[in-house]
Amino acid sequence: MPRNESINYLEIPSSDLTLTKAFFSAVFNWKFTDYGPEYCAFESSEIEGGFFYSEKSSQQQGGSVLIVFYSDELLLTQEKVVSSGGTLFKEIFEFPGGRRFHFFDPTGNEFAVWSDK
């Protein structure tokens, strides 16, 4: 059940929904439901959302919000990202409170993964 005034749903662009579904299924174990040729919804253990067809991508440099995942095993998650078709944008680096890396998904959207381990 949604909590009052909490983030409830994310919508992210994708120029290739098939590639996007394969990537996020392999790396983060997301489940997808198709709603026509230009939209698919996802669900994870933490949040729901969707990908809509667009030739544009979401990148922090262009002013987009950065979606940051958490991982108990940062190196393992990084290996899954790369082996599933993601591209490292910033190698693992330390910051106050932990370490993280940034990557592009196969359609050019920027994400990050962090860990306090």
**pLDDT for the residue numbered 46:** 84
Q: Which residues of 52-86 are buried (b: 16+ CB within 10 A; e: fewer)?
A: eeeeebbbeeeeeeebebebeebeebbebbeebbb
State in words which class domain 9-115 has. Answer: alpha beta
Token pair recorded at residue 2:
């949604």
Query: What is the rounded average pLDDT of the residues 77-97?
Result: 97
pLDDT tens for each residue of 24-51: 999 999 999 999 999 999 998 888 999 9
On the question of pLDDT at 88 being above 90, the answer is yes
On the question of pLDDT at 9 being above 70, the answer is yes
pLDDT tens for each residue of 60-84: 999 999 999 999 999 999 999 999 9
Query: What is the rounded average pLDDT of the residues 91-97?
Result: 95
On the question of pLDDT at 2 being above 80, the answer is no
**The overall pTM is greater than 0.85:** yes
How far is 56 from 37, CA to CA, in rounded Å?
17
